[in-house]
Structure 1
Amino acid sequence: MTESERHKLMLDLLRDRPFASVRDLQSVVDASPATIRRDIGKLHATGAVRKVFGGIAAAESGGLLDRVTARPFTENQMLRVAAKKAIAHEAAGLVQDGDALIIHGGSTCYLFALLLANRNVRIYTNSMPLAATLWQNGTCHLTLAGGELYREPGIVFSPEARPPEFYASKFFLGAQAITPNGMQESHPLVVRETELLLQRADEVIVLADSRKFGMRARNVMMPLTRIGTLITDDGISDANHKMLTDAGIRVIIARTGPEFS
């Protein structure tokens, strides 16, 4: 197989997904990992793809307003704290003793999981800050994702991961941006991790404060129709509320008050 043939196959694979790992590329290209990494470097240099940790991602398309990039977890913890606490409180009310839950990384999910620390629940998480806190201060059953630590958002991820041997009734996750096209995320590794976890959950519950509806991110993580319930604060606009209910999503509005300040 020639270099140009390999490049065509790699680009064809990327058209169907936001991210492809080296292992994904090996499944369609008959070449060694070293050769594939050299090909990635060449494609990145031409602007055809973006070279990211563990593989390649679609090139930046541009043209969207209010585009956001991933903030460090510690920075996100300082934003919209009252709204996030109110959302976390509503989310905790959806959990029953004995539930098996997947809780994704993110500052709102972190606050939510703290309310479950001493509940009779089983939690699977890829959040290093959350796992550390529940280990020190909780009694709930905890299962951790395996892989390497992606430090800024504080998640653990393996580019070669398979869906975990953990099955949940509910998958709680945050959102970087929400548009009519679906939930969006700027980092392709977070997208891929979410795709794996979606295969192991019955219901998807999104925790997103209202500012997320005015943003755009690089990659679509899932369509709105995959979301069962979305919890947001009372700053959501009528238009965005209608967008969600038209997609069949149950919307819960968390009322912020002095108890969450």
Structure 2
Amino acid sequence: MHLQDRWKLIIDELNPDRVTSVDELTSRLGVSPATIRRDLNELHELGHLLRVRGGAMRVEGKHFNGKAVAEAEPQKHRLDSLTGQSSFLDSTIVNAPVKRAIARAALDYLRPGISMIIDGGTTTYTMANMMANEPYHVLTTSIPILQCLLDRSKVKVTLPGGELFREQRIILNPYEDGMLQNFSAAKIFIGCQALTKNGLMQSDTLLVQSERRLMERADQVILLADSSKIDAPASLSVCPLTAIDVVVTDEGITPAARGWLENAGIEVRIARVTADDLKAFEVV
């Protein structure tokens, strides 16, 4: 069973009024208790269920892909989501082993004591989840990244103010004021909707404005983008290729794409998927 299908089934099985046990989910889905516990922990961290002793409960109003909210309250949903962006949960599952490999490679650019910006997104979230408990200073717009860093006592975390977009789990501020103006970072780790010869691309104007301001506060721009993002469709340019210092991607990148990236002066780092990356998302 695909991870995406299994997570949808788990959420569908939950009830907001009582605990659904690990044993019940194991029986209904036909997978091991270890797999169920791992899935419940991950879904709890992403905010899609409430993990309790022995099982989990549904969070009222939560659906796997948000369709029920979108159909019932289309205007409210637009306030909760960004144009052209998948929900955080849906994006987490897509190319998950590749994103894990990219995230692991990105850790090589960290040094204890540095300040950094970690932009919202599922690959950047995976990287933050793999970070060691070292004396870093992290500014992030991502609620899941904040949550996964809470137990790392040596990591100082700054969260800028703004409006919460629930589907993408990020906070964006359309104005120039706030903490960001006073924050200086050695590096920014950022994702994208697409990477083309025109540069780093997104699909929502507010996201474009936010990411441009974040990049202005960092000395080095490190883009985490699996190869499916290269030449993918997107209409709005965040920055040209010349503003990007490093692209961490996977072995699916074509020689032509690597060529135009390197011709723009970008360091291209290829992350290779390992057996451990695949094992982390297989059914056991």
Q: Considering the TM-score relative to the shorter chain, is it more than 0.5?
A: yes
After superposition, what is the alpha-carbon deviation per residue over 1:28-81, rounded to whole angstroms, capped at 9, x for unaligned? xxxxxxxxxxxxxxxxxxxxxxxx86xxxxxxxxxxxxxx92101111000101
Q: Which residue of 1 aligns with 2:255?
A: 238
Which residues of structure 2 form unaligned runs of 5+? 1-77, 279-284
Amino acid at match of 2:127: F
1:99 to 105, 108, 114: 114
Q: What is the SS of the residue equivalent to 1:214?
A: coil
Q: Which residue of the partner structure matches residue 260 of structure 1? A: 277
Q: What residue is the counterpart of 1:71 in the other structure? A: 86
SS, match of residue 238 in structure 2: strand
SS in 1 for 2:230: helix
Q: Is the 8 A contact 1:168 1:202 kept in 2?
A: yes
Q: After superposition, what is the alpha-carbon deviation per residue over 1:1-47, rounded to whole angstroms, capped at 9, x for unaligned?
A: xxxxxxxxxxxxxxxxxxxxxxxxxxxxxxxxxxxxxxxxxxxxxxx
- In terms of mean alpha carbon deviation, does 215-224 or 113-122 score higher? 113-122
Contact 1:105 1:173 in 2 (8 A): yes
In structure 1, the partner of 2:175 is: 160
Distance (Å, rounded) in 1 between the aligned partners of 2:274 and 2:150: 30
Match of 2:103 among 88, 104, 113: 88
Q: Distance in 2 between matches of 1:114 and 1:139?
A: 14
Q: What is the identity, as a one-letter code, of the residue corresponding to 1:78?
A: I
Check the 8 A contact 1:164/1:197 in 2, yes or no: no
TM (normalized to structure 2)?
A: 0.66
Equivalent residue letter for 1:204 = V
The residue that corresponds to 1:32 in the other structure is none
CA contact (8 A) 2:128 2:148 kept: no
SS of corresponding position for 2:237: strand
Q: How does 1:205-224 map to 2 (within 5 A)?
A: 205-224=222-241
Letter in 1 for 2:86: R
Question: Counterpart of 1:127?
Answer: 142
Gapped regions of structure 1 (runs ≥ 5): 1-51, 54-67
The amino acid of 1:83's aligned partner reads: V
Change (3 A) 1:187 1:117: farther
Q: 1:141-171, CA deviations, whole angstroms, 9 ceiling, x for partnerless residues?
A: 1111111101121110122233431100001
Alpha carbons of structure 1 residues 256 and 166: separation in structure 2 relative to 1, 3 Å: same
How far does residue 136 in structure 1 lie from its aligned partner after superposition?
A: 4.3
- The answer to whether the 8 A contact 1:170-1:203 is kept is yes
Question: RMSD in angstroms over aligned alpha carbons?
Answer: 1.6
Residues 75-121 of structure 1 show CA distances to partners (whole Å, capped at 9, x for unaligned) of 10001011101111110011011110000000000011112251221
* Separation (CA, whole Å) in 2 of partners of 1:124 and 1:117: 16
How far did 1:137 drift?
Answer: 5.3
Identity percentage over the alignment? 37
After superposition, give the CA deviation of every residue in 1:205-251 in whole Å (9 maximum; x if it has no partner).
Answer: 00000000131212001100000011001110001100100100000
Higher helix share: 2
Contact 1:117–1:134 (CA under 8 A) maintained in structure 2: no
**SS where residue 93 of structure 1 aligns?**
helix
Q: TM-score, normalised by structure 1?
A: 0.72
Tell me the equivalent position of 2:190.
Answer: 173
Range 142-151 or range 112-121, more displaced:
112-121
